[in-house]
């Protein structure tokens, strides 16, 4: 079991930056036992993997490589997503997620992640 809560997000103009955070408030296993990830979704489309972070390894969707940076602080049980050079197509509801199964960390597939935050809106205007 794990409970996740996102913070940050909001609205920004294209080319701007936003930072998202995800805090784990409860987990039955140590926080560093989980692969953590960010997903996003827009209405009518499937939830898309954005980035994930394991034990010193990060994975990114091609659409965000070079613009987004994922990080985690195991002592604080938190994860961040720094988003730079934002584009209108980055608009969506962003979710943090976790899985205890490390082999899924590189897949960025929503169905492989067990625990989810409630999601928060990021809007990038042109």
Q: What does the pLDDT read at residue 67? A: 98
- What are the pLDDT tens digits along the chain (126 aa)? 899 999 999 999 999 999 999 999 877 788 989 999 999 999 999 999 999 999 889 999 999 999 999 999 999 999 999 999 999 999 999 999 999 998 999 999 999 999 999 999 999 999
Return the sign of the alpha-carbon dihedral for residues 33, 113, 27, 74.
positive
Q: What does the pLDDT read at residue 27? A: 74
Q: What does the pLDDT read at residue 1? A: 82
Q: What does the pLDDT read at residue 56? A: 82
- Any residues with CB less than 8 A from the CB of 51 and at least 6 apart, and which? 37, 38, 58, 59, 60, 61, 64, 68, 70, 81, 108
């Amino acid at each position: 079991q794990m409970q996740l809560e996102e913070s940050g997000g909001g609205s920004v103009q294209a080319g701007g930056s936003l930072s998202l955070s995800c805090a784990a408030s409860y987990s039955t296993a140590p926080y560093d036992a989980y692969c953590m990830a960010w997903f996003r979704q827009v209405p009518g489309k499937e939830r898309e993997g954005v980035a994930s972070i394991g034990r010193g390894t990060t994975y990114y969707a091609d659409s965000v490589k070079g613009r987004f940076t994922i990080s985690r602080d195991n002592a604080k049980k938190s994860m961040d997503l720094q988003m730079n050079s934002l584009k209108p197509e980055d608009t969506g509801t962003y979710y943090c997620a976790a899985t205890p199964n490390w082999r899924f960390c590189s897949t960025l597939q929503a169905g492989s992640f067990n625990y989810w935050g409630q999601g928060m809106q990021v809007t990038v205007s042109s």
